Amino acid sequence: MSLPAFWFVLIAVLWTGYFILEGFDFGVGILLPVLGRDNADRRLMINAIGPVWDGNEVWLLTAGGATFAAFPLWYASLFSGFYLALLIILVALIVRGVCFEFRGKVDSPRWRARWDAAIVAGSALPALLWGVAFANIVRGVPLNAAHVYTGNLLTLLNWYGLLGGLTTLSLFALHGAIFLALKTDGDLRRRARSLAVRIAVAAVPLAAAFLAASQAGHGKTATDVTAALAAVALLGAILAIARGREGWAFGGTAVTLALSVATLFGDLWPDVLPSATRAAYSLTVSNASSSHYTLTVMTWVALIFTPVVLLYQGWTYWVFRKRLTRADISETEPTAPVQESAAAGGAS
């Protein structure tokens, strides 16, 4: 395998890790007002992802850095052409991180409600826009001879891009519900398991339509296989969660996301950013890559440090593997302060 091809595959792996890991905490944020019946439930949901959500975002930073170093022309055209969409994602991620830190600083239901609403928006917007972005990368965008994007934000909001966005939004919500069923216990666990089955009613047809459209327009023999396997894994996950097998269900949605990313990158190959204006203007693995020396140095760095990062993150998940219950949060903050109970009684 050539070095440009190796880095194309490695970037696909990084995005796979990001979608699997960040996907479930996006899902938890999206479902906060749905499953969080009171402050104790919402705190329990946030605590479920609290030790890992910021570590999950490292995959995004690494994927962006790897793209910049290995394929600078791809990075330049992608980040300039998708600038507004990526700026919205960045602001949403910043707001979400701030919300996790600030929602408990003031003992006020109104204060927490505002931050919770921001958590939902900060989770749903990236979940939607990442799907829109990747769908357009596969579909192709208007590039001129200098590889400069000539469209605008509305250009990206085509039917295929929006279908991709709704697919990632629904899959992340499903992934998050299954994660909560796996990570919590008690009433929240039961409700998360039930909600996952209901979300699947929307997620399955959306994912099937998006993968079918992708394969009809850009598919190859190999990616036909990965798309079919992704569908099988998704159905298996739904069957598992319906039977109360949360571990198998979470593994199923993780495999679904991994195979979906593999399908999209496989459909993209050997391009990295196709031009919808003229095929000759497309960026490919060959014409967008860095020099051989740069890729060689990067490869050695990746081979040395990637296992260290994986071991550390795996250790983090192992340490925080315990299921959470409402009893785990009652010692650090009252679940129903006197002021909150009074306000609730007055409102009713």
Q: pLDDT of 44-66, one tens digit each?
A: 999 999 888 888 988 999 999 99
| Residue 339 scores a pLDDT above 80 | no
Q: pLDDT of 129-182, one tens digit each?
A: 999 999 999 999 999 998 888 888 888 899 999 999 999 999 999 999 999 999
Q: pLDDT of 108-133, one tens digit each?
A: 888 889 999 999 999 999 999 999 99
User: Considering the domain boundaries, does residue 84 fall inside one?
Assistant: yes
Q: What is the pLDDT of residue 257?
A: 97
Q: pLDDT of 314-334, one tens digit each?
A: 998 898 888 888 887 754 444
pTM for this entry = 0.90
User: Considering the domain boundaries, does residue 342 fall inside one?
Assistant: no
Per-residue confidence band for 337, with pLDDT thresholds at 50, 70 and 90: very low
Q: What is the pLDDT of residue 136?
A: 94
The domain tally of the chain equals 1
The Cα 207–Cα 237 span in angstroms is 14
- 140 is in which domain, residue-wise? 8-326
User: Considering the domain boundaries, does residue 334 fall inside one?
Assistant: no
Q: Which H or E element spans position 273?
A: strand 271-273
Kindly state the average pLDDT of the residues 65-76.
93
- 3-state SS, 314-341, equals HHHHHHCCCCECHHHCCCCCCCCCHHHH
8 A C-beta contact, residue 184 and residue 36: no
| Residue 344 scores a pLDDT above 70 | no
User: Considering the domain boundaries, does residue 86 fall inside one?
Assistant: yes
User: Considering the domain boundaries, does residue 151 fall inside one?
Assistant: yes
Q: What is the pLDDT of residue 331?
A: 45
8 A C-beta contact, residue 236 and residue 276: no
The Cα 216–Cα 344 span in angstroms is 53
Q: What is the CATH number of the domain that holds 39?
A: 1.20.1630.10
Q: What is the pLDDT of residue 330?
A: 56
